[in-house]
């Protein structure tokens, strides 16, 4: 008979930053339908009243944040913050049709830009009161839309292609060995052109593997830059879940981060089982996680009772995973990034706000408020909770 031993132990997954509580967060980008970004004092005061009413204790930003602003918000309103590395000016990748894309992750100038900006933010924020973590960025990607609007891989610029071909040469040694193992007829490594889309060829998986490694190295540079000047500051990255054939998203290899960060939305799966499986797969390594984005588009779910219910279900589904140390609904208020006229409601993409752009609470406002109030009452129970892992040997 095979003996089965059960080893039960507790992995303490309290916040790496020390005394920081569970983060009842909010994606913070307070654009206003009438005033734009230049909110008058009365609107600013109203926004902070809304945050307090919802029991929000943390903000996640996308733009630049200064230490003075962070500490002022913490002292005046008790709000922790997760500021993001920004202002990275770096060479851009290209699509196969020549369209410019995202950062060339492997370019020396890109690595230096990440190092410089991460260092600058870490120096400014080191030891700041109210700092929860530093975020290396948001939803980097290898995939995007080409000139015709089709989703394809980027990386067809000279720098990325050269690096990829050098990787193949290092792994396979000779072109003859490459031909023998793949059945391809490339005359040299310099002739190899990676695929623009997903397929089952060995070339595709070599391309995918290269992309995964290069992206991980790019973020590692930022992480090491923070560690060098602020070794006690936890670091995260807001990773896009939902597109597994993009190796900069759900399957990115980022074990060095203190906080795993996930932008995780219900509408990608439309099933709570699938949503939970996706979350469980991401937190499988057992690291503390921040849900850096989640939310409900209130135009797609126009029935307020449905939007309210979905938001509550999503928040509680995330909360039940003890690895999760904070949740940031996207976003505080509607923003018109895709459309041109919020009064005309001219797009279906910009209805993620908990409030409208002119500050009218939606049904999801009450969902967040009541859920966060319940979490706040739990106090230290959730601030210091442990995650138990059972291994069967």
Rounded (10°) CA dihedral 34, 301, 352, 305: 80
Q: Which helix (H) or strand (E) covers residue 93, if one does?
A: strand 92-94
Task: Report CA 220 to chain centroid distance, whole Å.
Answer: 15
Position 335 scores a pLDDT of 82
CATH number of 6-392: 3.20.20.80
Give 203's pLDDT tier (boundaries 50, 70, 90).
very high
Q: How many separate helices (H) and strands (E) can be counted in the chain?
A: 10, 14
Reported as a single tens digit per residue, the pLDDT across 280-306 is: 887 766 779 999 999 999 988 888 999
Give 379's pLDDT tier (boundaries 50, 70, 90).
confident
Reported as a single tens digit per residue, the pLDDT across 136-151 is: 999 999 999 999 999 9
Q: List the structure tokens of 87.
A: 């202002």
pLDDT at 59 > cutoff 60: yes
Position 347 scores a pLDDT of 59
- CA-wise closest residue to 104 among 91, 116, 117, 86: 91
Residue, of 268 and 200, whose pLDDT is higher: 200
pLDDT at 22 > cutoff 50: yes
Give 6's pLDDT tier (boundaries 50, 70, 90).
very low
pTM: 0.91
Give 2's pLDDT tier (boundaries 50, 70, 90).
very low
Give 179's pLDDT tier (boundaries 50, 70, 90).
very high
How many Å apart are CA 318 and CA 312, to the nearest integer?
10
* Average pLDDT, rounded, for the chain: 90
Give the highest mean pLDDT range of 103-107, 249-253, 335-339.
103-107
Give 239's pLDDT tier (boundaries 50, 70, 90).
very high
The answer to whether 287 touches 250, Cβ cutoff 8 Å, is no
* DSSP one-letter code for 337: S
Cross-strand pairs, 355: 333, 361
Query: Given phi > 0 = left and psi -120 to 50 = alpha, else beta, which region is 238?
Result: beta
The answer to whether 109 touches 90, Cβ cutoff 8 Å, is yes
Q: List the structure tokens of 175.
A: 């072109």
Q: How many C-beta atoms surround the C-beta of residue 19 within 10 A?
A: 8
Can you tell me the mean pLDDT for 162-173?
A: 98
Position 245 scores a pLDDT of 81
Position 5 scores a pLDDT of 37
pLDDT at 314 > cutoff 90: yes
Give 27's pLDDT tier (boundaries 50, 70, 90).
very high
Task: Say how many residues make up the chain.
Answer: 393
């Amino acid at each position: 008979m095979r003996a089965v031993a059960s080893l039960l132990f507790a992995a303490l997954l309290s916040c790496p930053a020390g005394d920081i509580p569970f983060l009842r967060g909010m994606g913070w980008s307070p654009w206003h339908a009438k005033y734009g970004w230049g909110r008058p004092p009365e609107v600013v005061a109203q926004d902070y009243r809304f945050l307090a009413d919802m029991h929000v204790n943390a903000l996640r930003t996308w733009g630049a944040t200064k230490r003075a602003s962070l500490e002022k918000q913490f002292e005046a309103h008790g709000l922790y913050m997760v500021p993001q590395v920004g202002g990275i000016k770096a060479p851009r990748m290209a699509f196969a049709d020549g369209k410019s894309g995202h950062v060339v992750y492997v370019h020396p100038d890109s690595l230096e830009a990440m190092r410089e900006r991460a260092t600058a933010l870490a120096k400014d924020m080191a030891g700041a009161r109210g700092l929860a973590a530093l975020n290396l960025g948001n939803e980097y990607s290898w995939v995007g839309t080409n000139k015709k609007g089709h989703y394809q891989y980027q990386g067809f610029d000279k720098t990325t292609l050269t690096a990829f071909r050098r990787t193949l040469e290092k792994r396979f040694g000779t072109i003859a060995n490459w031909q023998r193992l793949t059945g391809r007829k490339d005359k040299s490594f310099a002739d190899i052109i990676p695929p623009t889309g997903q397929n089952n060829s060995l070339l595709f998986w070599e391309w995918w593997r290269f992309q995964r490694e290069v992206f991980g190295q790019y973020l590692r540079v930022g992480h090491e830059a923070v560690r060098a000047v602020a070794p006690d500051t936890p670091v995260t990255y807001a990773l896009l879940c939902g597109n597994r054939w993009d190796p900069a998203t759900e399957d990115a290899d980022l074990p060095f981060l203190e906080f795993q960060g996930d932008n995780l939305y219900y509408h990608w799966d439309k099933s709570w089982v699938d949503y939970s499986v996706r979350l469980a797969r991401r937190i499988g390594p057992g690291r503390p996680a921040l849900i850096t984005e989640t939310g409900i588009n209130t135009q797609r779910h126009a029935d307020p009772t449905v939007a309210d219910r979905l938001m509550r279900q999503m928040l509680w589904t995330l909360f039940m995973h003890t690895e999760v140390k904070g949740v940031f609904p996207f976003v505080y208020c509607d923003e018109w990034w895709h459309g041109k006229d919020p009064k005309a409601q001219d797009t279906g993409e910009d209805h993620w706000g908990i409030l409208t752009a002119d500050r009218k609470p939606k049904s999801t406002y009450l969902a967040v408020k009541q859920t966060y109030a319940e979490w706040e009452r739990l106090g230290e129970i959730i601030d210091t909770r442990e995650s138990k892992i059972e291994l069967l040997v």
